[in-house]
Amino acid sequence: MDASWTTGPILSLALLLAVAGVVKLGRPASAAAALRAAKLPAPELGVRALGGAEVALAVVVIVWGGPVAAAVLALTYLGFALFSQRLRSVQGRSASCGCFGASSAPVTGVHVGVNLVAAVLGAAGAAWAPAGLAAVVAAPGEGALLLAVAGTLAWGWFALLVLLPEVVVAMGALDEDRVAEARARG
């Protein structure tokens, strides 16, 4: 298989984008709320259009790959990083990005950082073109491994964006409960 080193990471970011887009298409309320919280226009139809554009871009990146698709992916994730930072600056730590639906995960510096890393990987894909799905599946052994790596990376991105912040919030709540109990005792 003639695939660039960027193929796995780019595929993983496209998978993540596809999931976020499908969620926005089906349940746009969380993303609309995040846009409003950032003091941006948030019509439900606009959020659905954004979700549709995310799915369409993900399909192009996954099916065809190439430097142009990777560059557009880079710009998309750069936009997400800028939006995440704006949301943090306007709403503080309590803001949820609405990327994946009704998640209560706050937008953290990790969220901004993950989106910036994704933008850099997309830019690398513009220089070292990622392969499309046809090239990946044409090499059964390598292709299967690459798809497994991409799926695992996509889950890792999701965990960093959604699960890690939820754990941190839960741990903070536990600490607050312990402090309150200690004060009550004493």
Residue 86 banded pLDDT, cuts 50, 70, 90 = very high
Residue 182 banded pLDDT, cuts 50, 70, 90 = low
For the cut 80, the answer to whether the pLDDT of residue 38 exceeds it is yes
Q: Interior CA angle at 137 toward 67 and 8, to 5°?
A: 45
Q: What is the pTM of this model?
A: 0.89
pLDDT per residue as tens digits for the range 121-165: 999 999 999 999 999 989 888 999 999 999 999 999 999 998 888
Residue 178 banded pLDDT, cuts 50, 70, 90 = low
Rounded-to-integer distance, Cα 36 and Cα 7, Å: 35
Q: Which residue has the higher pLDDT, 179 or 146?
A: 146
Cβ(39)–Cβ(95) under 8 Å?
A: no
The pLDDT, as a whole number, for residue 2 is 67
Rounded-to-integer distance, Cα 44 and Cα 16, Å: 21
Domain boundaries, the chain: 7-185
The pLDDT, as a whole number, for residue 34 is 92
Question: Of 106, 166, 135, which is closest to residue 8 (Cα–Cα)?
Answer: 135
Terminal C-alpha separation, the chain: 67
For the cut 80, the answer to whether the pLDDT of residue 186 exceeds it is no
Give me the mean pLDDT over the 25-53 stretch.
Answer: 94
For the cut 80, the answer to whether the pLDDT of residue 27 exceeds it is yes
